[in-house]
Amino acid sequence: MISTSLLRIFLTGSFRPFVFGNIPTKSLDYQNEKQLGLYIHIPFCLSLCSFCPYCKVIYNKNTAIEYKEALLREIDLVGSELTEKKEVTSLYFGGGTPSLMIDDLFDIVTVLQKYFRIKNGIGIELHPNDVSDKNLTLLKNAGVNMISIGVQSFDRNCLSLIGRAYDDFSKKIRIAEQYEFDVIDVDLIFALPGQTEEILLSDIETAFSSGATQISTYPFIDFTFSNNKYKPLSEKYKKRLLEVINRYCIATDKERTSVWTFTLKNTQQYSSVTRDNFLGFGVSATTLLHKQFKINTFSIKAYIERIKMNRLPTSLTLHFSFRQRIVYYLFWRFYGTKINKIQFRNFFGIDLYKIYPFELFLGKIVGLIKEDETNYFLTEKGIYYYHLIEQKYTNAYIDKMWNISRNVDFPEKIVLR
Ligand SMILES: C[S@@+](CC[C@H](N)C(=O)[O-])C[C@H]1O[C@@H](n2cnc3c(N)ncnc32)[C@H](O)[C@@H]1O
Ligand code: SF4
């Protein structure tokens, strides 16, 4: 905890923590934001996995019908701030299991298109059990061009230790391949109990040979509020496995598109987090803009009630200081392993080296960062430290935030130090 606080103080140049308050959102004031993305949260699953921290409940048809109405209304409330149609980079559906509302996707996309022009396509997370010809056809008809399948592992034993039923998921990826999506991402978790280097390598190989264009390999994280019977393998072992993934991907000519994702060369990337700005709709969805970050309530009931009052369902808002916004930007850009110098200047109106002359110098001296004309990028060593830091912040910030939000519909205040 102390290390996360010190790093925050060091990089923001201030003792001021991240303070999220219960501040009613009148207007989001996002008309002039460039490179804006859209995110929709669908919080339903057929069964709840013990390891999963995301905001979700067991699927119920009547609740899903009410939720859809509220979601469309939230889009209208936010969209009507615009005076003309706005171009957005992409639209991602996450969850939960968004495919449980697959018959509603077309309506949701249609309402969004009243306000937004989606430039680079639509992505959706799928549970492997939902990969079927019927569903893939519906997705294609709704304009989806990127899918992400939550396989976690192809190994029977690893799956059973995290409470997932085994099936031949490689077959599902092959079915999806026939539909010619631009992106087929396969989510894999590493450092699962019982997972050896051989099992992990076989998982990665199976994913690519079955038709994945990208793999997302997340280190298993044990959230305080999850109910994991078996704990993740040690950090030392995680380090070894991360090296194994990297070596395999270098040997087979994959591109590292973020600390935890590897992609076939010259294919589009599935990435719902590495964006400068985005609008989020639905329970627990976050919205990131130049000056603020806001989170919707995690409670479906409270969300629907708020929307019925024609009010945005925001539970917490953070108004960034300039340096806090920079740190937030760098955090997600470095997740993508590099910072483009011109993009940074365009976003903040100042060069990165003018803000962090000493830190960049130090980063280069100790071998965490390299620089060329266009970018600062993380070295192999830098990527490993990022992997450690990301997990630390997940434990210190996300775990705390989500734990409170799961229990209190509209918390008064959350302070992240
Ligand atoms: C919203 S979830 C998955 C969507 C879909 N419902 C599914 O189960 O396939 C997104 C991804 O987060 C990853 N994930 C979930 N819990 C995790 C944990 N405790 N540690 C690491 N990764 C996790 C999984 O790889 C999962 O596929
Ligand atoms: S991993 Fe997927 S199916 Fe399991 S609870 Fe999380 S969102 Fe639902």
pLDDT of residue 255: 95
Indicate whether 25 pLDDT > 90.
Answer: no
Q: State the CB neighbour count (10 A cutoff) for residue 331.
A: 14
Chain position carrying tokens 């060593």: 381
Determine the average pLDDT of the residues in 127-144: 95
- Same domain, residue pair 52 and 146: yes
Instruction: Tell me how far apart the alpha carbons of residues 330 and 365 are, in angstroms, rounded to a whole number.
Output: 19
Instruction: Tell me how far apart the alpha carbons of residues 185 and 45 are, in angstroms, rounded to a whole number.
Output: 20
Total domains in the fold of the chain:
2
Measured in Å, residue 219 CA sits from the centre of ligand 1 at 10
Q: For residue range 339-349, what is the model confidence (pLDDT) as tens digits?
A: 999 999 999 99
Listing DSSP states for 105-117 in one string gives HHHHHHHHHHHEE
| Residue 356, domain extent | 1-16+325-405
Does ligand 1 come within 6 angstroms of the Cβ of 218?
A: yes
Cis amide leading into 163 (omega within 30) = no
pTM (2 d.p.) = 0.95
User: Greatest CA separation found in the chain?
Assistant: 59
Q: For residue range 50-90, what is the model confidence (pLDDT) as tens digits?
A: 999 999 999 999 999 999 999 999 999 999 999 999 999 99
> Residue 63 domain-assigned?
yes
Question: Amino acid letter at 220?
Answer: F
Measured in Å, residue 394 CA sits from the centre of ligand 1 at 14
pLDDT of residue 262: 96
Determine the average pLDDT of the residues in 367-377: 96
Enumerate residues 6+ apart whose C-beta is below 8 A from 362.
none
Residues with a CB atom less than 6 Å from ligand 2: 45, 48-49, 52, 54, 56, 95-97, 127, 150
- Same domain, residue pair 256 and 369: no
Spatial CA neighbour of 350 closest among 318, 322, 373, 320: 322
> How is residue 233 written in tokens?
């393998």
pLDDT of residue 293: 95
Return mean pLDDT, the chain: 93
- pLDDT band at residue 273 under the 50/70/90 scheme: low
- Same domain, residue pair 221 and 333: no
Instruction: Tell me how far apart the alpha carbons of residues 240 and 226 are, in angstroms, rounded to a whole number.
Output: 25
- Same domain, residue pair 33 and 87: yes
Collapsing DSSP to helix, strand or coil, 20 comes out as strand
Measured in Å, residue 161 CA sits from the centre of ligand 1 at 15
> Residue 24 domain-assigned?
yes
Whether residue 68 contacts residue 106, with contact meaning beta carbons closer than 8 Å, is answered with: no
> How is residue 57 written in tokens?
């409940």
Determine the average pLDDT of the residues in 374-385: 95
Chain position carrying tokens 């509020």: 225
Q: For residue range 174-210, what is the model confidence (pLDDT) as tens digits?
A: 999 999 999 999 999 999 988 999 999 999 999 999 9
- Same domain, residue pair 185 and 170: yes
> What is the sign of the dihedral through the CA atoms of 285, 333, 393 and 126?
positive
CATH number at residue 68: 3.20.20.70
pLDDT of residue 153: 96
Indicate whether 2 pLDDT > 70.
Answer: no
Q: Is 13 left (phi over 0), alpha (psi -120 to 50) or beta?
A: left
* Closest ligand 2 atom number to CA of residue 48: 5
Q: Please report which residue ranges of 83-196 form alpha helices under DSSP H.
A: 102-115, 133-141, 156-161, 169-177
- Cα three-residue angle 40-103-60, rounded to 5 degrees: 75
